[in-house]
């Protein structure tokens, strides 16, 4: 039987701002990536609850490069659509927002995708593409300025050229930050779906409709059609949704949410995740049904010995494409070169996708560290260098070595970080967001060096739009050699 409410994400971990499309019996979802490269992962499913990563849309420097690894820059909310035999993706690179929205296309969703064109003149965030039945393509976007209405123009997606003047189509229901627009046609109605209330606890999904694509749009009397604000639901911040019609004529919705834990104000550490709900129609308005899908827990375990000639698509890096600073070496593993002169961090990482997990990295003992990162000002690491293993934590301006021991007398060392939810105290309170225990493995035994409070690597402390990633980087100015990396949910 379906769950009474949806508490299990279809894409766990840092996978915000989902957009979905269908081609026959195949479904595809993309999400935001912000400062991480490659940009915009794309997933495939046949049943809407089990998803497989098939690649990344922006995986080349000629498609996307970033000036730094600064947190929550880069790629904001994308939209994925299929039209006339091609997949189309439009998004905003906030570092180049003045140039307009970035548009690429592909015949195969796994790539390659084209070099971008830009919708010059459409300045803002959260762009959407919609083709009407006469073939006209409409670009709809949010200004990104508080209280400003949603804008629309006709666009040539091949070139990015705007073919009409910008018009304002709807200002939302009056909640803060109307954004994330998606435009649809169902029968004789055009529907405009928005995110409102901000992407924090007040987040909500609202909808309006019109007989004309250009409006005026009338809001649903039942708005917001989805929100968990001011409730005790374990999934919060629900919003930024996208609709898809299924092959059988029914409809579904993907949306983001977070799973906060700990005492007030509660802390979410893995970023905004992607969830799914059903949609039924009542008096030509969409009604969200959160009990429609029985979502299984995703398989998140990952083990890489770098024996493949191709880097797994799960690997990402802040501010740089991984292939810019790594190289495979026969019978060695993965060589990670130090940060470059521009300050880009050489961190080869994957998204953390579980609330409890264990990650291990076997590196050469002369220089390498396992890093859990939220942004460059909020991270913790266990590293090996100069004959010692030490734990270091950075929280804003505070930078401290928490523990250290002599390294085992061996050419390699296995570093480890484990996250666990703390036991509940009386009255249901818990001591922290999670407990992060850092150490190393010796004689097949995990040896803890330090345990830190995970709330300091949470969005509520650090701010921003991303979640945790975990990976390996050099500890100094010499290469790090990563022999093996493993991650498993507990």
Active site residues: 17, 179
Structural tokens at position 400: 């401290």
Query: Is there a contact between 386 and 405 (Cβ–Cβ < 8 Å)?
Result: no
Contact by Cβ (8 Å): 240, 76:
no
* Beta strands 125-131; 469-473: pairing state: unpaired
With b meaning 16 or more CB within 10 Å and e meaning fewer, what string describes 166-185? beebbebbebebbbbbbbbe
Report whether 13 contacts 273 (CB < 8 A): yes
Structure tokens at 19: 């957009």
Tally of residues, the chain: 490
For residue 432, what are its two tokens?
């922290």
- Contact (Cβ atoms closer than 8 angstroms) between residue 162 and residue 119: yes
Query: What is the helix (H) or strand (E) element at residue 302, kind and residue range?
Result: strand 302-304
> 97's torsion region: left (phi>0), alpha (psi -120 to 50) or beta?
alpha
Pairing of strands 125-131, 357-364: unpaired
Tell me which residue of 42, 175, 193, 34 sits closest to 105, measured CA to CA: 42
Chain mean position to CA 332 = 31
Instruction: Give the Cα separation of 54 and 327 in Å (integer).
Output: 22
Residue whose C-alpha is closest to residue 368's, from 351, 353, 380, 383: 383
Give Cβ neighbours of residue 233 (< 8 Å, ≥ 6 apart): 5
Q: Where are the alpha helices (DSSP H) in 136-267?
A: none
């Amino acid at each position: 039987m379906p769950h009474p409410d949806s508490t299990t994400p279809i894409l766990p971990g840092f996978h915000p701002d989902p957009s979905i499309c269908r081609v026959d019996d195949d479904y595809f979802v993309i999400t935001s990536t912000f400062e991480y490269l490659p940009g915009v992962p794309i997933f495939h499913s046949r049943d809407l609850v089990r998803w497989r990563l098939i690649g990344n849309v922006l995986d080349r420097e000629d498609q996307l490069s970033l000036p730094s690894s600064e947190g929550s820059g880069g790629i904001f909310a994308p939209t994925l659509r299929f039209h006339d035999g091609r997949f189309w993706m439009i998004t905003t690179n906030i570092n180049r927002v003045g140039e307009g929205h970035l548009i690429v296309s592909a015949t195969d969703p796994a790539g390659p995708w084209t070099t971008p064109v830009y919708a010059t003149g459409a300045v803002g965030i959260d762009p959407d593409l919609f083709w009407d039945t006469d073939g006209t393509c409409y670009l709809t976007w949010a200004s990104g300025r508080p209280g400003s209405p949603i804008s629309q123009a006709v666009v040539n997606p091949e070139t990015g050229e705007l073919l009409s003047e910008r018009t304002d189509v709807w200002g939302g229901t009056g909640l803060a930050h109307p954004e994330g627009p998606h435009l649809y046609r169902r029968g004789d109605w055009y529907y405009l779906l928005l995110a409102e209330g901000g992407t924090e606890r007040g987040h909500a999904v609202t909808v309006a409709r019109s007989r004309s694509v250009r409006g005026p749009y009338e809001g649903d009397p039942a708005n917001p059609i989805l929100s968990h604000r001011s409730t005790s639901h374990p999934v919060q911040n629900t919003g930024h949704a996208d609709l898809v019609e299924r092959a059988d004529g029914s409809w579904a919705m993907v949306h983001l949410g977070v799973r906060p834990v700990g005492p007030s104000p509660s802390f979410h550490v893995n970023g905004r995740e992607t969830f799914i709900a059903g949609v039924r129609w009542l008096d030509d308005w969409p009604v969200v049904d959160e009990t429609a899908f029985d979502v299984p827990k995703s398989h998140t375990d990952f083990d890489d010995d770098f024996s493949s000639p191709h880097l797994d698509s799960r690997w990402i890096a802040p501010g740089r494409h991984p292939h810019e600073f790594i190289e495979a070496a026969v019978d060695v593993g993965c060589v990670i070169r130090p940060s470059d002169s521009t300050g880009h961090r050489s961190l080869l990482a994957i998204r953390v996708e579980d609330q409890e997990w264990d990650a291990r990295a076997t590196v050469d003992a002369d220089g390498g560290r396992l890093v859990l990162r939220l942004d460059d000002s909020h991270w913790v690491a266990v590293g090996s260098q100069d004959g010692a293993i030490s734990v270091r934590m950075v929280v804003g301006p505070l930078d401290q070595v928490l523990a250290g021991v002599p390294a085992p007398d061996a050419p390699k060392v296995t570093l480890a970080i484990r996250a666990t939810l703390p036991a509940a105290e009386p009255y249901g309170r818990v001591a922290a967001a999670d407990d992060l225990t850092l150490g190393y493995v010796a004689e097949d035994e995990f040896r803890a060096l330090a345990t830190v409070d995970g709330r300091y690597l949470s969005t509520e402390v650090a701010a921003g739009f991303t979640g945790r990633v975990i990976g390996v980087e050099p500890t100094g100015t010499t290469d790090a050699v990563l022999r093996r990396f493993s991650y498993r949910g507990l």
